Structure 1
Amino acid sequence: MKDWDRRVAVGEGLRSVASGGLVTISIVLGLMLALAVPATLDASAVARIVDDETRWRAAGGDLLIATRDEGFSASQCESLNTVDGIDAAFGARRLPGTYATVAAPDAGVAVVLVTGGIHRFLGIDGGGAVVTPDARDDTGSGDVLQLLPASPVLLGSGQAPGGAGGREQDLPLAPLEIAAVTPLDVLGDEYAYSIAVPQAAAGTVERCFVRTTPATADAVRAVLPALLTPDDDGTPVVVLDRLVSGQFSRDFSTELDERTTALGPYLGGAVAGLLWLLVSWFRRAEDSLYTTLGAERTTLILLRGTEWATLLAVALLGAWSLSLAGLALTDTATRASLLVVARSLTIGTCVATSLAAAAQLLPRQDTLATLKDR
């Protein structure tokens, strides 16, 4: 008996889907849930980890602060930017008292002298001053500001906190270009209403701010004293975490890599594949009937492959829609979570298709025996 034409096999596969009724609907729903549920759970887990890390970083969780009584050389703080494991570093010295600007003579804003590393720390371009939003509003500063003392009582002989030497002659009175307007609360409450002005690396700072990562925090914390006092002179260096609650208790990179929900797409794909194995088992008599009508093994594979591809395509569309709805309901629909959904659905599809293909390659019972069981 002559084998079927390929177009006939494809058409029969599509007819099987169209005429399946509740069976087709049940298979599509099963495939959709098997793929969508683990994808949504994994995407939500990733979104939560990313959100926790973002809020943790915004609060200064990745920030170390080094201090000592006599302060540090500004160049020493700035040189930390070349150390492995340190994302960014800069030195800061807060001048005593408060200051005004030419545009707002009655203002009283804190002025902090910083090294150039602050621009890398904040992720901004340019080498100008950094102004907090409230300070910008109160000083009436545009793209340029010009400082002047806010009080006639000058602190010319005073010292900045920590003895780093904060004399008023260090105050830059020339017009300053504003590089960015951004909050500085991450550095500490005393910087929440201030103007950060870059200074020469030849100066002195009272604090070194160092941004690191949970993976390298302990190593960086251990070597900071030696890096900041290479001659081992003066008082000891004290290194503290910016957050009062302290330590790098969470390693977000490790949490992301070791999350158990990442296994979900593989399990979901296996469930989808096993579902098709079950369907194939119940259709063995139908396949035997096709065989008696002249369909060879390759024809049956093409027929069932067409049916599988059609059902899977519909299920994938539903799974993607269901995942998006789940992310929207849990308020975790971010770019990262959408990428995880796409990755999860791809993994689940590959696993399920591998098992579906294996189902077609399994040894089959004798045709007559199968028809007799029917």
Structure 2
Amino acid sequence: MRSGSWPWRIAAREGVAAARTGRWASALTVVAVAWTVAVVGAAGAVEVSRLVDGEQAWIASGGFVLTASGLSNEDQSQNPVPAAVCDRLAGLDGVVAAFAALRSSQPATLGTAPGGAVSLILVTPGATEFFDVTDDADGVVLVTRPLAERTGVMPGEPARFLTGSGPSGSGLRSDLLRARVVDPTMLGEEFAGAVLVPSSDVIEADDCYVRTDAAHVDAVRDLMVGTLGWDGAPPVVTDRLRTDEFTIDYSDAYQERTLRGAWIAGAGVLTLLWSVLTWSRRSRVAIYATFGMRTDSRLVLAVAEWSTLASLGVAWGWAIGVVGALSLGAHPAVALAQVTGQGLLVVLAATVGVIVLGVAPAGSLLSHLKDH
């Protein structure tokens, strides 16, 4: 601090006093900060929450599910997939769950809906983990939700299925199993009306389904190509859902979201407001300059006044923003993170603007009177 200037401690006290006695100017600043923080934070929270919802729906529809099928031969037959190898993939890094499926050529009938034919698919034991259902000592049968709603099958109830034909046209009855109702959305419509029966007897399967995550999808795809071949022929590995230039990449969508830089506009609005208030009170600044307050002390005064008002506005705006974001459907964690982060960015950037305005030259009281 240069000799003859106001002490910074006194300048800071003067700034706090100015914030307390500023009346309409102080009230306007607090309200402006509060609503800028609230609007920017809540808008960002809602936008990010919608992206999260979209990504979760995409994942639930099979976004990270890979399918391996055998190559077609010249005689139009298709190579099988080694079922045991597919099931063992679940123990490897990056694989959430995996199972192999073999479609039966004969339809089946559930004991709860006699006479109604359904598709029967034999699956490896890994299917229970894939669909996140518990096994049972007596064995389980996985009934897809659309079929369960149509036939009245309830989760956990005893169930039998009838398949094939016996000596007098009667079906071959399965053992009594426990029904597990599963959502087939991530595997596609072909599973919607099917009964999946876990069995360790499946040796050669039609397909292998593997669930992974964003960090391992490429590595798991290469792993499937290298391990699920048959007689030296690699399998055909495809994504359950199409991924190309016409589909959304949610990682890029988050980085390129429209309101990511909204805090810059918010800070600009607050800086403009503060510049208008500074100009309207230029006579006060001129009086301080006349009484020996130099640039450094004037800057301390301005920052102290701004910080006092901004802190009140941020606290109020944070509460408004969080409540507003939640009422508009934002996720609680996203609302807290976005309103807090965006609010801090708005105020910090606006503080830089206040500092720039604070070091602007100030005329003396005499020069101000001459202007009038």
Common topology (TM > 0.5): yes
**Which one of the candidate residues 134, 138, 145 is aligned to 1:126?**
134
Structure 1 CA distance for aligned equivalents of residues 110 and 133 of structure 2: 25
Paired residues of 2:81 and 2:235 also in contact (CA < 8 A): no
Q: How much has 1:345 moved relative to structure 2?
A: 1.3
Paired residues of 2:11 and 2:298 also in contact (CA < 8 A): no
1:27-85 CA-to-partner distances (Å, cap 9, x unmatched) read: 44543454444434433432332232233233334333222224222222123335565
Paired residues of 2:45 and 2:325 also in contact (CA < 8 A): no
**Does structure 1 residue 147 correspond to structure 2 residue 160?**
yes
Paired residues of 1:132 and 1:184 also in contact (CA < 8 A): yes
Q: How much has 1:228 moved relative to structure 2?
A: 0.5
Q: How much has 1:350 moved relative to structure 2?
A: 2.3
Aligned to 2:193: 193
Paired residues of 1:133 and 1:183 also in contact (CA < 8 A): yes
Q: How much has 1:301 moved relative to structure 2?
A: 5.7
Q: How much has 1:11 moved relative to structure 2?
A: 5.9
Q: How much has 1:212 moved relative to structure 2?
A: 4.3
Structure 1 CA distance for aligned equivalents of residues 248 and 217 of structure 2: 11
- TM alignment of 1:9-158, pairs within 5 A: 9=14, 12-17=17-22, 19=23, 21=24, 23-24=25-26, 26-28=28-30, 30-32=32-34, 34-68=36-70, 69-82=78-91, 86-95=95-104, 96-101=106-111, 108-122=117-131, 124=132, 126-128=134-136, 129=140, 130-136=142-148, 138=151, 140-141=153-154, 143-149=156-162, 152-153=165-166
Which letter does structure 2 place at the counterpart of 1:185? Answer: T
* SS of residue in 1 equivalent to 2:261: helix
Q: How much has 1:250 moved relative to structure 2?
A: 2.8
Paired residues of 2:321 and 2:339 also in contact (CA < 8 A): no
1:74-130 CA-to-partner distances (Å, cap 9, x unmatched) read: 2221233355655443212233311324x66666544433234334433x2533544
Aligned to 1:348: 346
Structure 1 CA distance for aligned equivalents of residues 128 and 286 of structure 2: 73
Which letter does structure 2 place at the counterpart of 1:132? Answer: T
Unaligned runs of 5+ in 1: 155-167
Paired residues of 1:60 and 1:186 also in contact (CA < 8 A): yes
Structure 2 CA distance for aligned equivalents of residues 309 and 41 of structure 1: 24
Aligned to 1:181: 181
Aligned to 2:307: 309
Q: How much has 1:303 moved relative to structure 2?
A: 5.1
* Structure 1 range deviating more: 315-324 or 1-10: 1-10
* Structure 1 range deviating more: 210-219 or 126-135: 210-219
Count of residue pairs the alignment pairs up:
348
Aligned to 2:331: 334
Q: How much has 1:208 moved relative to structure 2?
A: 0.9
Paired residues of 1:73 and 1:204 also in contact (CA < 8 A): yes
Q: How much has 1:280 moved relative to structure 2?
A: 3.3
Paired residues of 2:145 and 2:192 also in contact (CA < 8 A): no
Unaligned runs of 5+ in 2: 71-77
Structure 2 CA distance for aligned equivalents of residues 320 and 88 of structure 1: 42
Equivalent pairs: percent with the same residue?
Answer: 26
TM-score normalised per structure 2: 0.72
Paired residues of 1:37 and 1:323 also in contact (CA < 8 A): no
* SS of residue in 2 equivalent to 1:229: coil
Structure 2 CA distance for aligned equivalents of residues 240 and 369 of structure 1: 80
Structure 2 CA distance for aligned equivalents of residues 79 and 247 of structure 1: 30
RMSD of aligned Cα (Å): 4.2
Structure 2 CA distance for aligned equivalents of residues 201 and 27 of structure 1: 74
- TM alignment of 1:119-268, pairs within 5 A: 119-122=128-131, 124=132, 126-128=134-136, 129=140, 130-136=142-148, 138=151, 140-141=153-154, 143-149=156-162, 152-153=165-166, 173-176=175-178, 178=179, 180-200=180-200, 203-212=203-212, 220-221=220-221, 224-229=224-229, 232-233=232-233, 237-243=235-241, 247=244, 249-268=247-266
